[in-house]
Structure 1
Amino acid sequence: MDLTLLCVLAAGLITGFSKFSVGGMGLLILPVLMLAVTGPQALAILVPMYVATDLMAIAMYRRDISWAVLIALLPPALIGVLLGTWLLGSLDTSAFTPMLGGLILAMLALGLWLDHKPAGIMRHPLAANITGLAAGFISMVANAAGPLFSLYLLEQRLSKDAYVSTRAWGFMIINGAKLPMLWTLGLITQDSLRLSLYGLPALVLGASIGYWLLRRLKLSQFKWLIRIMASLAAIKLFAFS
């Protein structure tokens, strides 16, 4: 099997699994795809796949959305997308991979720091603005905002379904905003869209596995699964650079 197609299928599997279970595993998807496709072009393949999984998720989890959380997060997140578009347009490809590794390590450090601080710090209005801005920016330049977004949502005392629903709606809007930006940058092409379509069967399979696993996990387990996946991704990214 062609290496590019194999990497796209693997990325689709992880994408579907991540969206319907622990989240934050998006950090693994880009390194997998970068085995065959350079960083910025890989983003153009991933974002349509992300939108597809977002649509699947909101179709299934549409009754327990925390609109108050989304209203606080989304305006600064969209500003972050615009800032990320500006950076992506001038970013040197050689700097892309180490930048991803640094972002992952920063988010892991944030999570560990929050373990030793009162949980209420992530429920402060300023935290929503900072998290939204950072999530939009990181999502645009690295498709790696999952852990940051998840860490914020985990501290909002949401139910399991509300956590998944709110995360899915948030990223559907953010990823939808990224599509025209990537098109403007010339990254989304007919070839990239065709590769995105090739990943859909694996995406559906991953979503089914993730949905099954979600029902058997506690939210407290999500945090450590996210951190383990992020640690593996950081090691892999630095190995690439």
Structure 2
Amino acid sequence: MDTSIVVLFLAGLITGFSKFSVGGMGLLVLPIVMIAFPGPEALGVLLPLYIITDLMAVSSYKNKIAWSVLARFLPLAFIGVITASHFLANINADQFIGFLGFTIIAMIALGLYLDVRPASFMRRPLAAYSMGFFGGVVSMIANAAGPLFSLFLLEQKLDKKTYVSTRAWAFLIINLLKLPFYIGLGLLTANSAESSLYAIPGLLVGSLIGYHFLKKVQPTQFKWLIRIMSTIAAFKLFLFS
């Protein structure tokens, strides 16, 4: 079997699971896809999958959306997407791989810091705007803004259903904003979209598992496993950059 098909099925499985459960596993997806699609073109392969799962998620979690929370950070996220598009247009594949590794480590370090220090500052407007901007940048360049958005949303003291619904709409809006920029940069093409189709079976299976998994667990039950696996993936990227 073609390696790329296996890689895409696994990427779809993790993407679906992460989107429909408590998230955080998105840090693993891009390094996995880069096994078959090295360089920034992996971003274009993944974006259609994210949009599909986002649409599935928002259709499943239609109620209890904290629109006021979204309104605080989405405008700056759009500016972050524009800023990051200029960055992507001016880096080579090696620089991209190194930056991705750094970004994953930074996201893990932020999570560890907030585990031991109060994060009440996340409820302030300035923090919301900052998270929006950096979330847009990281989402555009590395598809790894999940920790930033999740950390911010968790500190808004939302109940589980509101948290998941609000996060789903945030990701959908951001990913739709990224679409024309990826096309303009040549990262999302007819060929990359065709490759994305191979991930759909895994995506559907992962979404189903994640949807039922969410009802039975708390985020702390598996976040350390995700962090360890993501750290290993990041260091592998550094070795190849």
When normalised by structure 2's length, the TM-score is 0.94
Find out whether 1:70 has 2:70 as its counterpart. Answer: yes
- Give the drift of 1:111: 1.9
Distance 1:84 1:119 in 2: 26
- In structure 1, how many angstroms separate the alpha carbons of the residues matched to 2:226 and 2:70? 21
Partners in 2 of 1:121 and 1:217 — Cα distance?
27
Q: Does 1:181 align with 2:181?
A: yes
Partner of 1:135: 135
Task: Give 1:98-177 correspondences, 5 Å limit.
Answer: 98-177=98-177
Other structure's SS at 2:40 match: helix
Contact 2:12 2:202 in 1 (8 A): yes
Q: TM-score, normalization: structure 1? A: 0.94
- TM-fit CA distance, 1:220: 4.3
CA contact (8 A) 1:160 1:219 kept: no
Unaligned runs of 5+ in 1: none
| CA offsets 1:153-198 (integer angstroms, 9 cap, x no match) | 1111111111111111001000001111010111211111111122
- The change in CA–CA distance for 1:134 and 1:117 in structure 2 (over 3 A counts) is same
Map of 1:207 onto structure 2: 207
Q: Deviations over 1:86-140 (max 9, x none)?
A: 1011111111112111111112222222233323111111110111100100110
Secondary structure of the corresponding residue to residue 89 of structure 2: helix
Number of residue pairs the alignment of both structures matches: 241
Would the alpha carbon gap of residues 183 and 200 (structure 1) be closer, same or farther in structure 2, given more than 3 Å must change? same
Q: Distance in 2 between matches of 1:100 and 1:131?
A: 18
Q: Is the 8 A contact 1:22 1:222 kept in 2?
A: no
d(CA) in 2 for partners of 1:152 and 1:57? 19
User: What does 1:30-41 align with in structure 2 at a 5 Å threshold?
Assistant: 30-41=30-41
2:212 aligned with 1:191, yes or no?
A: no
Contact 1:101 1:238 in 2 (8 A): yes
The 2-side partners of 1:30 and 1:87 are apart by 18
The percent identity for this pair of structures is: 55
Partner residue of 1:46? 46
Residue 235 of structure 2 aligns with an amino acid whose one-letter code is I
Moved more, 64-73 or 101-110: 101-110
Tell me, in whole angstroms, the C-alpha distance in 1 between the residues paired with 2:239 and 2:163.
33
Q: Which digits, 9 at most, give the CA deviation of each residue in 1:46-68, with x for residues without a partner?
A: 00100000000000001021111
AA in 2 matched with 1:150? S
Aligned partners of 2:24 and 2:223 also within 8 Å: no
Q: Deviations over 1:12-68 (max 9, x none)?
A: 111101101121211111111111102211100100100000000000001021111
Amino acid paired to 1:214: L
Checking the alignment, whether the CA contact within 8 Å between 2:39 and 2:94 is kept in structure 1 is no
Amino acid at match of 2:17: F
Give the AA of the match of 2:2: D
> RMSD over aligned Cα, in angstroms?
1.5
